[in-house]
Amino acid sequence: MELNINQFCNVAVTPDDGQRVFNSISPAIQSGQPVVLNFAGVTVFAASFFNRAIGQLLRDHTRAELKKLLVVKNLTADGANVVRQAIDNAEKYYGSEEYRNKQRAVVESIAEGE
Amino acid sequence: MKVAKISAPAIRASEQGLSVLAKLWEQVNDCHFAVEFDFSTCSFLSHTGIAFLGGLARLCVFRNGSCTFAWSTMRSPIRRNIEENGFHAAIQNKAGGRNGNSIPYREDRNLDAENLVAFLRDRWLGRDWMNISQRACDTIIGKVLEIYLNAAEHAESPVGIFTCGQHYPKTRQLHLAVVDFGVGIPCKVRHHLKLPTMKPCAAMAWAFRPGTSTSGGSIGRGMGLEMLRQLINLKQGELSVRSHNGHAIITEGPSAFSAVPNPFGGTIVNIKLICDDRHYCLESEMARLADGNVF
C-alpha cells in the first residue's frame, strides 16, 4: 500500500491531518501489510503531524515491527529528523509505564526542590 | 455606558514592554465593559504591543464589552506603522495594509495551516531580509508552526491567536510575535501534572523539555517547544515566552526560566532572528535521505 501524503495535505503540520494518515495506514499495519508513505511535494513538517500519523503506531507495535512494515519516500532529511524524534518520543511514552512513572517522579522532585 | 480610558505608554519589544502589556491586561480586566485606549503618552508601539492590543480588543468584545482606540491621539510614525501592517484596518474589520518593514498583523480564530505557511513564507521569511535557502526557510516555518499548534491545541484562547512582526533594518533584526489569551503555560502544566503549587519557572522549564506535553490521553507527544529551541540554535536568535506568571528566554546559550510579578491571562511568544549577510542553508541539504527507513 502506498499513500501519497499530498493527497491529504500540502504541509505535514496539523494533528488532524496526521490523524487522517494514521486512520488510513493503521489497518494495513495491523494486518501486517507493508505501507509506503510518499512525501513528494511536501516540504514543511511539524512534530504534531508525525506524533499522530506515526507516533501512535508505537502504542501497538514495536519499533522493530514498524521498521519492517513502514517505509517513507521522498522525505527531506529535515523531515526525517522530525519523524525520528517523534518516534523516539512515542517509543519512550508507550514503551514503559516505568518510564512514565519515573518522569513524573522527576518532575515532582523538581517542583518540591523549587 | 461608562467608558474607561486607558492610557497606553510606550510599548517596546522588551521584557519591560511585556510588563507594560501585563499591566494593560490587568486594567482591562478590571473594567468589564467599555474601554478606550489613549495613545497620547505612547512614544513607541512595537509589533508585540500591536498583536497584544488586537487580541485584547477582541477579548473585550468576547466578554460582551467594547474596545476602541483613540486613533487621533497616536503620533504620526505609529499611525503610519499600524496603517502599513494592517492593524488599523483589521480592528475596523476592513482589509488594508501595504508592504514595508512590517510583517502584517493577523488574527487566527481557526488554524488554517496552509494559509499560515504561505503567510510565514511570503510575508515574514521570504522577503529578502534574510539570506536563506528555501529548505531552511521551510524548516524554520515548520518549527514556528509549533507555536500556533501549541496555542490552538493547549491554550484554550477564546478569541484565537494574534500575530504581528517587524523588520528592524538598523539593528538587523527580524521579529515575530504570536499572542493568545488562553490559560497560560504554567497553569496548564500545573493542571496536567496535578501539582498546583509548582513554581512558574519550574513549570516553564518542564514545558520546554523534550517529550513533555500537556496533551491528555494516550498519544505520546511533546517536542513542540523543544523544536523552537532548535530554531533558535539554527538562526542565532532569541525566543522569549511570557505566559501567565512565567517567563522563558531561549538563546543559543543556557535558557533562563523565571517567575514574573504581573501575571496575565495568556501567552506572548516573540521570535527574534538576526539578519546577517551569511547564506543559511541546512547541512542536510547537501544530502537527501535515501528512500527507506526512518526507524
Q: Mind listing the pLDDT tens digit for each residue in B75-92?
A: 999 999 999 999 999 999
Residues of chain A with pLDDT under 50: 114
pTM: 0.88
> Does residue A16 sit at the B interface (CB-CB below 8 Å)?
no
- Give residue B218's pLDDT: 33
Q: Is the model's pLDDT at B243 over the cut of 90?
A: yes
Reported residue count of chain A is 114
Strand order in B238-250's β-sheet?
Answer: B102-108, B161-168, B173-180, B256-274, B238-250
Instruction: Read off the pLDDT of each residue in B206-232 and give the average, rounded to a whole number.
Output: 60
pLDDT range class, residue B287, cuts 50, 70, 90: low
pLDDT range class, residue B214, cuts 50, 70, 90: low
- Is residue B198 helix, strand or coil? coil
Calculate how close chain A gets to B200, using CA atoms only, in Å. 10
Calculate how close chain B gets to A52, using CA atoms only, in Å. 7
The lowest-confidence range among A20-29, B62-71, B155-164, B210-219 is: B210-219
- Is residue B26 helix, strand or coil? helix
Q: Is the model's pLDDT at B70 over the cut of 50?
A: yes
> Does residue A10 sit at the B interface (CB-CB below 8 Å)?
yes
User: Rounded CA gap, B95 and B74, in Å?
Assistant: 20
> Does residue B205 sit at the A interface (CB-CB below 8 Å)?
yes
Q: Is CATH 3.30.565.10 the classification given to domain B3-286? A: yes
Q: Is the model's pLDDT at B286 over the cut of 60?
A: no
Cell (9 digits) for B166: 517587524
- Give residue B219's pLDDT: 37
Instruction: Look at the block and give the residue holding cell 498519544.
Output: B219
Q: Look at B244 and B285; give whichever has higher pLDDT.
A: B244
